[in-house]
A and B are shown apart, each in its own frame.
Chain A
Amino acid sequence: MSQEMTGSEIVLRALVEQGVDTIFGYPGGAVLPIYDALHVQNSIRHILVRQEGGAVHAAEGYARSTGKVGVVLVTSGPGATNAVTGLTDALMDSVPVVCLTGQVPTHLIGNDAFQEADTTGITRPCTKHNYLVKDIADLARTVHEAFYVARSGRPGPVVIDLPKDILQGPGTYTPPSINGHRSYKPRKKGDIGQIEKAAAAMAQAERPLFYCGGGVVNAGPKASHLLTELVKLTGFPCTLTLMGLGALPASNKQFLGMVGMHGTYESNLAMYHCDLMINIGARFDDRVTGKLDEFAPHSTKIHVDIDPSSINKNVRADIPIVGDAAHVLEDLTKVWKARQHRADRKKMDAWWAQIDEWRSRDCLKYKQSDTLIKPQYALERLRELTGGRDDVFVTTEVGQHQMWAAQFLPFEKPNRWMTSGGLGTMGYGLPAAMGVQVAHPDALVIDVAGEASVLMNIQEMSTVAQYRLPVKIFILNNEYMGMVRQWQELLHGGRYSESYMDSLPDFVKLAESFGAVGLRAEKPSDVDGVIEEMIAVDKAVIADILVDKAENCFPMIPSGAAHHKMLLGPEDQADNPISEEGMVLV
């Protein structure tokens, strides 16, 4: 039954019908009608952030920890432009987000009106799709369609630009169409002939390797179960990308650790030497492949991806399969069983013996100190002291601390690890942690941060205070933009141009000023006590861990190098200067 209501009421009703329970937003002139409608309902909770960029990251954290679509509401002009970084982040990392932006009334569009920006123009390249609603008759359909687009196929952010007169005008609500989308119909099932080929290649392989990414996480927990089962069934080793951590339990014996620039030695060497690479839901990102013409040179490559444009983009696939990771894993497992394929035991033993030799290099080892807190030590202690819990969610900012967190923290399940991978957005972790905590009020949510990154969205401490979100901000404070400093050391003769952090706040007092608890660790013996208290206290905490300022993140594949040219530690660094070719890469 259709009844007349305002545009704002139509929007909220459509959101409720799409299962939305939480919106992250910030009001302003153009969206006042929606805020007015929000005020008189109880179905949707609004979380007031302190800057629109924080709203999008919070929605990303919410989305990635729940598998649902994250929702953002911001005003026109600066509200929309502030959201752009978050939208780009969500696009790069395939996070489903619907962002409602206010717009000036339709008759003022194009007139350079107050707080007018060409939002659909600005966000076109940084969204999966966007809409400008100019007719209220299209409003409900557009909102429903936006949710469909955001979560279908390869997920991504969708913007709906809503002129104020549309929000105020009378219209009728229409429920979601049952006919599906007229042009956007991503393929879910993989081609069975290709899957047969893949299974046959797997049975023939001598040095196979699963290389899996965020696509497995995005395909839902079922995909992770199926991957775990197939890894066990085949006996093959498996490595995960930064975005894929948790898709296979970290404790699984066949898990080799993360792959890529700061991945483990065994993962990268296995990538280089494998004769069959089974890529499921990863995109051959440059942080994983390193030097392309020396990337896994002896391997046949199977590539499963829901986005056909990921296939043959950077690396040519020998057996491409377009489809959803869960569907393809299910079919691949069925075919493997039905054909009674099995790996050659002898060859697999030889492959594992080689991998164990690489593993024995213990690539994550570091020199412990009695006086200085090593960042790796702080994370090891965090790992140990949270080890017994099943409800730990970790977000990060971007830089050295992010890579150490990826190396040292174990993820047993998908959707527990939220980090900005593709875009590398400093300032992601704190707002993302808020979004995770809102979705999981009783969970232990930790933002592993650097002191530089966390300052980029530190205003969100006010949001944390308002909603009493007990997030734990674990700052590995080295008073440097650590990764910038590391690259300057490696590539620019140790000239630390503008990469030190001067005039830092007293993070303990900063926490206290927002009603949170501030803790500090200055020496290794402080670390356990700080972590225990951080976990025990039922409030937001900033734990300022003063770590070794000179520590660098290893192992590392220098830019422009191949996987087997990995540097294991500072001692390797001096012997392997970066090539000129590598200097120009980021």
Chain B
Amino acid sequence: MTERHVIAVLVDNEPGVLARVIGLFSGRGYNIESLTVSEVDAEAGLSRINVVTLGTPMVIEQIKNQLDRLVPVHSVHDLTEEGPHVETELALLKVAGQGDKRVEALRIADIFGAKVDDTTLESFIFRLDGQSEKIGRFIELMKPLGLVEVARTGAVAISRGSEGV
């Protein structure tokens, strides 16, 4: 019954708006798998919140309706429901090691298409984008090879085709 939905929310870029959205999720007991927020239209003062959530169809409908009735919310789009969409996430990984492990880490990074953003003689910082699930697999592989730290953005998504939200 539980479904994973990617929801995009266009909001006024004003103080407290993120707190309203997060407070809604915690106050009503909804799940947040990931959440990203950034201004997307400086002229109009609009930010976009991308939230990935889990819930039954009835809960997902509630989440959308509850979000939509917040005063600074302009529109709510359930990308999962609205059709095909492109979804991606960015991760930075710090992997430290020497010798074979260092070579193996670099080799696997190459297979995954991760970029090396920085290196020292004992460490790499890898940058990888793509589906959250693919990033998860990459992280698992790096664990035995000296994974020190991970930073992930959470998913962002946009619908396919020529129409905008």
Contact = CB atoms under 8 A, between A and B. Distances in A.
A309 interface: yes
Q: Chain B interface residue count: which class? A: 20 to 34
Interface in B7-33: 11-12, 15-16, 19-20, 23, 27
A308 B71 CA distance: 14
B15 A132 contact: yes
Contact of B66 (A132, A182, A309): A309
Given A124-B20, A125-B23, A183-B74, A307 B12 contact: no
B62 interface: yes
A128 interface: yes
Contact of B71 (A125, A183, A307, A311): A183
A395 B108 CA distance: 72
B28 to A, nearest CB: 10
A445 interface: no
B71 A184 contact: yes
Contact of A309 (B15, B23, B65, B71): B65
Interface in B65-107: 65-66, 68-74
A513 interface: no
Nearest to A308: B65
Interface string B25-60: 001000000000000000000000000000000100
B12 A308 contact: no
A99 to B, nearest CB: 15
B164 to A, nearest CB: 17
B71 A312 contact: no
Contacts of B72: 129, 183
B61 interface: yes
B69 A183 contact: no
A308 B20 CA distance: 18
A120 interface: yes
A312 B58 contact: yes
Interface in A553-572: none
Interface string A297-331: 00000000001110111001000000000000000
B42 to A, nearest CB: 16
B19 A124 contact: yes
Contacts of A128: 71
Name, among B16, B20, B69, B72, the residue most crowded by chain A CB atoms within 10 Å (CB to CB): B69
B56 to A, nearest CB: 11
Interface in A165-199: 181-184
Nearest to B26: A125
A311 B65 contact: yes
Given A183-B74, A184-B71, A312 B15 contact: no
Contacts of A124: 16, 19-20, 23
Interface in A115-149: 120-121, 124-125, 128-130, 132, 149
B14 to A, nearest CB: 9
Interface in B107-145: none
B65 A183 contact: no
A121 B62 contact: no
B27 A125 contact: yes
Given A125-B27, A309-B66, A312-B61, A183 B73 contact: yes
B23 A308 contact: no
A207 B64 CA distance: 34
A183 B70 CA distance: 9
Nearest to B66: A309
B90 to A, nearest CB: 29
Contacts of B68: 308-309
A312 B19 CA distance: 25
A182 B20 CA distance: 18
Contacts of B27: 125
A309 B69 contact: yes
Nearest to B65: A309
Contacts of B61: 312
Contact of A312 (B11, B62, B69, B70): B62
Contacts of A316: 58
A121 B23 CA distance: 10
Contact of B62 (A132, A154, A182, A309): A309
A128 B70 CA distance: 8
B19 to A, nearest CB: 6
Contacts of A308: 65, 68-69
A153 B65 CA distance: 14
B62 A313 contact: yes
A182 B61 CA distance: 24
Contact of B19 (A121, A153, A181, A184): A121
B12 A183 contact: yes
A311 B65 CA distance: 9
Nearest to A120: B16
The 10 lowest CB-CB distance pairs between A and B, nearest first, are: A309-B65, A129-B71, A183-B74, A308-B65, A184-B71, A309-B66, A125-B27, A125-B23, A309-B69, A312-B61
12 contacts: A120-B16, A124-B19, A124-B20, A124-B23, A125-B23, A129-B70, A129-B71, A132-B15, A132-B16, A181-B71, A182-B12, A316-B58
Given A154-B69, A183-B73, A309-B68, 18 more contacts: A121-B19, A124-B16, A124-B20, A125-B23, A130-B16, A153-B69, A182-B12, A182-B74, A183-B11, A183-B74, A184-B71, A308-B65, A308-B68, A308-B69, A309-B62, A309-B66, A312-B58, A313-B62
